[in-house]
Amino acid sequence: MSMKKRLCLHAFAALLAGLSLQGRAEGDLEWRHRARRGDVVLTANPQAPASLSAFYAARGFAAETIRPYANACGFSLGMRNGGSLPILTRLADWDVIDAKGRRLKFRLPESWDADWAKVNAPQPARIAFRWAQFQTENTFEPGDWIMGMATLESVPTAPFRLIARYHDDKGDHEIVLENLECARD
């Protein structure tokens, strides 16, 4: 990952977590949900609609344009590869299993961006949106981490669990976050 991209991701991570970059490191963030598999860590914080609306309105989205995204079940997600092998994640491979046993998927950032294009959302707002999302596909070198927002395609019945899949040279793996709920205002 380039230094410029890494710095931009760190800046967005600070914005997403509502923190100042001064005196804070990635490990200092308070996460409501955390799971580990070996040296890979997954974290999540539910995001309330008002917080999501405010975040994107400040980046140029009209309130009515961002409302469907803000009202979706959204999370700030973090993932860190503390191991010695690169790992690959694909958001399309992640599932949520709700309290009724329904399997749900994340709505990919590209899908939201297609909606923004249809309503002629400002290009700077769309760029800010893409940078703030947990990316559809990530390759994490040893020591890499990322944070970003993601929403589910529909609202699950709580509590639900998130099954995050990733791949390394040793095969396919899963990290599970339990007892999640969507945040509401």
Cβ contact 79:89 at 8 Å: yes
**Which pLDDT score, from 0 to 100, does residue 30 have?**
85
Q: What is the pLDDT of residue 173?
A: 96
CB 99 within 8 A of CB 71: no
For residue 24, pLDDT over 60 is answered with no
DSSP secondary structure code for residue 83 in this structure: S
In angstroms, the CA 73 to CA 75 distance is 7
Q: Is 35 within 8 Å of 176 (Cβ atoms)?
A: yes
The pLDDT assigned to 2 comes to 45
pLDDT in tens, 58-72: 999 999 999 999 999
For the chain, domain boundaries = 3-180
Q: What is the pTM of this model?
A: 0.84
Q: Label residues 133-159 b or e (16+ Cβ within 10 Å = b).
A: bbbeebebeeebbbbbbbbbeeebeee
Which has the closest alpha carbon to 57: 120, 151, 129? 129
DSSP-derived 3-state class of residue 41: strand
